[in-house]
Chain A
Amino acid sequence: MCLAVPGRVISIEGDDPLTRQGRVDFGGVIKSVNLAYVPEVKPEDYILVHVGFAITVLDPREAERVFEYLETLQQ
């Protein structure tokens, strides 16, 4: 129910902040996504999408932490 899928924003359409749409690539499947809740999003950003809405922009720097933390544990 709280499933959210990561996807890459290809392009952004619309001026109305409530109905701004992104074309989003989910590993080859392209879908239209509502971007109202991620006003800061830019093309090429990765977002998490839940029931047709982007809920957060993924942070590429923070995405590495899982591996960096593991390295500190293995030293």
Chain B
Amino acid sequence: MKYRDEYRTADAARGYANAIARITTRPWTLMEVCGGQTNAIMRFGIDQLLPKEISLIHGPGCPVCVTPIDYIDKALDIAGTPGVILCTFGDMLRVPGTKSDLAAARAGGADVRVVYSPLEALAVARDHPGNEVVFFAVGFETTAPANAMTVYQADREGLVNFSVLVSQVLVPPAICALLDRPGNRIHGFLAAGHVCTITGYAEYEPIARQHRVPIVVTGFEPLDILEGVYRCIHQLERGESIVENQYSRAVRRPGNQLAQQVMESVFQIVPRHWRGMGEITASGLGVSPAYQTFDAEARFGAVISQDESQGECTSGAVLRGETRPDQCPAFGTRCTPEHPLGVTMVSEEGACAAYYRYRRQVRRPVE
């Protein structure tokens, strides 16, 4: 496949790995924010190509993982309402709520449908005018324009039986929250390339400046990630902290302005609870007043926040990059994808699932 296979060549990967080794003089800790990048790092063994001075830690960039349990409970509550069809991305099916998950609700007779695109949920609403159709809109900035366009089209068509349960989150406020945590040890960030196709990266420039961290907008193939690491280390070794764009074939500084416009008209910025990180100011999107009639919370009652107890699961610390999946005593024994204790093992993009899939043995401890 063009634009994929050429970025997976072993020679070029070794070339980047050697270049990184040549310039690294001391220990550095980089965080890749996006779960897709975590998955690629594990799958291709990219961390094992790096000098031992470089630690890659994994960030909160899995929207499934950071969606609070209250939203799963609300989705279950809505799915259990007679006459409702709940449409969701497949990633949400097995995420545990307080007592159950959407897969179990479906097995119990609830009409829960997996869609690849929110537009499919819209088609379900057209085809079933006698039912209430609710789409569980989860995601980062990459997904928000698709979800927003779906609401925009529902409004244009006058579909009265369609609404969205929104748990959308934004990356930059989470990066700031991590940097502000006491004991923060992140020296540089690989920013999520697909998020930046939408938002651009101007918003990251003040973060890099104020917190003095290099931020490199990075793609998802092995060579992208290795170049992102090289650029980040190059800045750190020279004492620089600017935003660079490694993923220039897909990302431009202003981002996709049409997508931003639709996002900004359908959604508004709201505070959001993140699993493992608590409430972060202005870190989420909710339905804007102009589109209130499409807000599932207006139709089925508001989501009620509650304190989460994690039990034995360390996913909160994993999402903050404070611990690695294989450092959890339950990893791979009491906690597996078949019998997950927590969401980072459930989600395809959770760091624990990526470690389990590609690497079971324990690696060197974090310094």
- Residues from chain A with Cβ under 8 Å of B224 in the complex: 66
Stretch of B24-32, B50-58, B134-142, B352-360 at the chain-chain interface: B134-142
Sampled A-B contacts (21; CB under 8 Å): A1-B35, A2-B63, A2-B194, A4-B142, A8-B2, A34-B119, A37-B256, A37-B258, A37-B259, A39-B258, A51-B116, A51-B143, A52-B116, A55-B142, A55-B197, A58-B3, A59-B250, A66-B223, A70-B19, A73-B16, A73-B230
User: Which bucket holds chain A's interface residue count?
Assistant: 35 or more
Check B329 for interface membership: any CB of A closer than 8 A: no
Contact indicator B249/A59 (Cβ below 8 Å) = yes
Tell which of B4, B118, B156 touches A18, judged by Cβ atoms closer than 8 Å.
B156
| B251 near A56: Cβ-Cβ < 8 Å | yes
Say whether chain B's binding surface is mostly helix, strand, loop, or mixed.
helix
Are B140 and A69 in contact, with the CB atoms below 8 A?
no
Count residues on chain B whose CB falls below 8 Å from chain A CBs: 54
- Shortest CB distance A34–B (Å): 6
The contact string, 1 if C-beta is below 8 Å from chain B, for chain A 46-75, is 101011110110111011011101100110
Report chain B residues within 8 Å CB of A19: 153
Nearest 5 CB-CB pairs, A to B? A52-B117, A6-B3, A27-B1, A63-B249, A2-B142
Residues on the B chain within 8 Å of A73, using CB: 15-16, 19, 230
A37 partner residues in chain B, CB cutoff 8 A: 145, 149, 256, 258-259, 262
Q: In the bound complex, do residue A52 and residue B2 qualify as a contact, i.e. CB atoms below 8 Å apart?
A: no
Which residues of B sit under 8 angstroms from A18, Cβ to Cβ? 149, 152-153, 156
Provide the residues of chain B in CB contact with A2, threshold 8 Å. Answer: 34-36, 61, 63, 139-140, 142-143, 192, 194-195
Report if A36 contacts B (CB, 8 A).
Answer: yes
